[in-house]
């Protein structure tokens, strides 16, 4: 059984650009509002699972 991912907003954003056209999947990092001048800080937790 294969995995499934949703197409993100970049697929539609780059649709008119021949060099960038294609399907973009998954999470593409933090992105504060384009008009926000406040510095944003992001925290991440990384979890690993040993499968052997």
| Secondary structure (H, E, C), 11-52 | HHHCCCCCCCCCCCECCCCCCCCCCCCCCCCCCCCCCCCCCC
**Boundaries of every domain in the chain:** 1-52
Rounded to 5°, angle at Cα 42 from 41 and 45: 150
Greater model confidence, 17 or 28: 17
Q: 33 and 45 in contact (C-beta within 8 Å)?
A: no
Confidence at 10, pLDDT banded by 50, 70, 90? low
Provide the phi-psi class of 26: left if phi over 0, else alpha when psi is between -120 and 50, else beta: left
Give me the residue label for tokens 């008119």.
16
Work out the pLDDT band at 52, boundaries 50, 70, 90.
confident
């Amino acid at each position: 059984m294969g995995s499934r991912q949703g197409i993100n907003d970049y697929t539609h954003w780059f649709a008119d650009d021949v060099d960038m056209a294609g399907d973009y999947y998954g999470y593409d990092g933090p992105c504060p509002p384009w008009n926000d001048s406040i510095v944003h800080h992001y925290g991440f937790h990384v979890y690993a699972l040993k499968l052997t």
